Amino acid sequence: MKTKNLIVILLFLMTFLISCQSESDIYGKWSIEDVQMKGNTDDIAILGPALSDFSYYEFTENNELLLYDSKDELLQKEKFLFSEDGSELLIKGSVDQVVKIKIISETEIKLENEGCIMKLKRK
């Protein structure tokens, strides 16, 4: 019985440590490497001008998502939370949204919502 409890506790700790590792991997500054639109291609025309003044994202340890322009001026500030399994971000701001997140490597992550897939590269 003790062995079974120990295995359950170890599995829980491993899951917890893996999710903490993935959360800490996202902290820092990220520039957009690639954007792929889903569905309606007209959205690209709308997205283009919005991205032209945008420079990078920053995910902070205080769970803030900061968006900066090319002059390093803050454009927008949102709060974010990780899902329990670490596979999604809940971005809380002017419009709440859920974004799937996949950490590809230490220097690359992928964000996906219903409208687009965005690859980010560590800045």
7-20: pLDDT as tens digits: 434 333 333 333 44
Q: Domain limits at 49?
A: 2-122
Q: How many CB atoms lie within 10 A of CB 122?
A: 16
Q: Distance of alpha carbon 57 from its chain centroid, rounded?
A: 9
* Residue type at 10 in one-letter notation: L
Q: Are 87 and 75 in contact (CB under 8 A)?
A: no
Domain total for the chain?
Answer: 1
Structure tokens given for 11: 């599995």
Q: Tell me the C-alpha distance between 81 and 83, whole Å.
A: 7
Q: Tell me the C-alpha distance between 105 and 119, whole Å.
A: 11
Give 4 or 29, the one with higher predicted confidence.
29
Structure tokens given for 47: 């997205």
pLDDT in tens, 8-66: 343 333 333 334 445 677 899 999 888 887 776 455 444 444 455 678 999 999 999 99
Measured in degrees and rounded to the nearest 5, phi and psi for residue 38 equal -105, 145
User: Which CATH number covers residue 17?
Assistant: 2.40.128.540
> What is the H or E stretch that residue 19 is in?
helix 2-26
Q: Distance of alpha carbon 115 from its chain centroid, rounded?
A: 15
pLDDT tier, 107 (very low <50, low <70, confident <90, very high otherwise): very high
Q: Are 89 and 80 in contact (CB under 8 A)?
A: yes
C-alpha dihedral, 41 to 46 to 50 to 52, nearest 10°: 70
